[in-house]
Amino acid sequence: MIEFQAVTKRFDDGTTAVDNLDMVVEAGTITVFVGPSGCGKTTSLRMVNRMIEPTSGTVLVDGEDIRKSNPALLRRRIGYVIQQAGLFPHRTVLDNVATVPLLSGWTRRKARARAAELLEIVGLDAAMGKRYPAQLSGGQQQRVGVARALAADPPVLLMDEPFSAVDPVVREGLQDELLRLQADLDKTIVFVTHDIDEAVRIGEKVAVFRKGGVLAQYAAPAELLSNPADDFVSSFVGKDRGYRGLSFLGADGIQLGGVSTVGLHDSRPSTVGGPDWTLVLDDDRRPRGWLPPGVVVEGEPAEEDLRPGGSLYTEGTALRGALDAALSSPSGLGVVVDGDGCYTGVVTAQQVIDLIEERRKDAA
């Protein structure tokens, strides 16, 4: 657990970066600090490992005042991940990950064995250990950065905008990887971002900071979106917060429909799309795209005959995914798949809206 008690940080030029911060980060949770540039979120994070010293107030980690700890020893017990990973360019990936265990007195053999184990945990092939950072993609470097922060098995992990320098697709994959790791490792994680979508996606609690280092609201993502504390929070989380709020509603109760399907490798004199859209599936019944109404394809449907199918909705996940699948589909039919990615049915935007209205009435 991390506790901020009336913590203030005022720099020599008179700037107040953090103003009287009182909050508790519960053990074993992901807490996200979010807010505009210059709001004190990174300063608050760095006060936890004494990279920045508070002007006044107290920071406790597991009930212990961090001022009683040697800063260097404290940092070895707290993992730290930054933007661009911050890897040592002249060391191999394996030696980068082994750095903290070696500093903590581990033997080289034990530290490198732990490093190899962690590369696998964060989803990197063991062969990556022999490479140097410059030989890795941005996403791979960030995974190495996470592995290095976990190397000494710290109870606390600080992450300062770790995924902001990679493209959106890689970023989503890294977010998924973090959530998977947390489910297995149960760390106390403080994560800084300026992206509210990232905050509500990964955070169990979200702390919104305003300019001047003031904590504006500290709440679970669903509460933050449905009941912002004031106009600033309402503006920061966005006017589409109702849509984001669907991320916290299940799709139980939606009855899946059906649609005409054809196999990607079905061989016949001609494949006719008919008056309606036809969904094309591969040999494992995974969606590959749509044939528009009235299209006639000689023999097997080819990739150039297909319209991209939009996003897929995985059964059992949040309602937001079902609505997005329907809205992004060229047919207006959201394709639903099981956990293996195999087609199970379709859903319409109207069905999602009807379910939302039904739940609203039930809650009234």
Confidence of residue 271 (pLDDT cuts 50, 70, 90): low
3-state DSSP call for residue 150?
helix
CATH number 3.10.580.10 is the correct assignment for the domain at 261-363: yes
For residues 32 and 294, the model is more confident at 32
In this predicted structure, the answer to whether residue 127 has a pLDDT above a threshold of 70 is yes
Write the DSSP assignment of 11-56 as a string of letters. Answer: -TTS-EEEEEEEEEE-TT-EEEEE-STTSSHHHHHHHHTTSS--SE
Other residues' Cβ atoms within 10 Å of the Cβ of residue 235? 10
Retrieve residue 262's tokens. Answer: 């054809």
pLDDT digits (tens, 9 = 90+) for 79-94: 998 877 678 899 999 9
User: How do the domains of the chain map onto residue ranges?
Assistant: 2-238, 261-363
pLDDT digits (tens, 9 = 90+) for 102-112: 888 889 899 98
Please give the sequence-ordered ranges of beta strands (E in DSSP) within 78-167, or none if there are none: 78-82, 156-160
What is the reported pTM?
0.78
Buried b (16+ CB within 10 A) or exposed e, 150-162: bbbebbbbbbbbb
Q: Is the CB of residue 83 less than 8 Å from the CB of residue 165?
A: yes
For residues 78 and 300, the model is more confident at 78
CA of residue 217 relative to chain centroid, distance: 21
pLDDT digits (tens, 9 = 90+) for 234-264: 888 876 777 777 777 777 778 888 888 888 7
Retrieve residue 156's tokens. Answer: 């606390």
Query: Would you say how long the chain is, in residues?
Result: 364
Using CA atoms, how far apart are residues 346 and 330, in angstroms rounded to an integer? Answer: 13
Average of per-residue pLDDT across 148-169:
86
Using CA atoms, how far apart are residues 162 and 183, in angstroms rounded to an integer? Answer: 19
The answer to whether the Cα torsion of 207, 219, 25, 167 is positive or negative is negative
What residues contact 346, with CB distance under 8 A and at least 6 apart?
256, 257, 258, 259, 279, 333, 334, 335, 336
The answer to whether the Cα torsion of 24, 30, 34, 39 is positive or negative is positive
Strand partners, 21: 7
Which CATH superfamily, name and number, covers 2-238?
P-loop containing nucleotide triphosphate hydrolases (3.40.50.300)
**For residue 22, which amino acid is it?**
D
Strands 312-314 and 333-337: parallel
pLDDT digits (tens, 9 = 90+) for 206-222: 999 999 999 999 999 98
